Amino acid sequence: MAPFYAITLVVVVLLCFPIYRFWACARRLSPEHYRELIRRAPLMRTLDAIAFLMAAFTAYYAAMGLWGFTLPPLDDEPLPAWMNILLSAVTSVGCFGVIWTNAPNRFTDPTWGGMRESVVRTLAALRIIEAAEVAHALNIINTREAHK
């Protein structure tokens, strides 16, 4: 089962590495832009943290299956092999699902420069969305006042 665990670990590492690079590039922006990104998309960072947690659980179940490693707060003794395989696969697929729904267009260019561009593009898109929402709200207010 070592090849299966290796495949699941490679998948989650390859999926989580761009998330790390995205947030590293976001932190390199000015603090105002970083706070604006967090303010405009609060769930983005939360879902990325959930993806990292699912990747950590994938690694935990792989370590438990390969070497019998356990953490006392989670498990007193190693789980059966079939359960390790199932939990490793489920957490790996869950990690992929969270990343797919949270960031389908954030990671189009995997280079460091591409990640910087992705951060700026994400921030610009969030600004455009907010401007469109404000314009729509103003249109509704104007039409209601015109009918009075």
Question: pLDDT digit string (tens) for 116-126?
Answer: 888 888 889 88
pLDDT recorded at residue 133? 92
Query: What pLDDT is attached to residue 110?
Result: 67
Sequence spans of domains, the chain = 2-147
**Per-residue pLDDT averaged across 94-112, rounded?**
81
DSSP codes of every residue in the chain: -HHHHHHHHHHHHHHHHHHHHHHHHHHHS-HHHHHHHHHH-HHHHHHHHHHHHHHHHHHHHHHHHHH----TTT-SSPPPHHHHHHHHHHHHHHHHHHHHHH-TTTTSS-SHHHHHHHHHHHHHHHHHHHHHHHHHHHHHHHHHHHH-
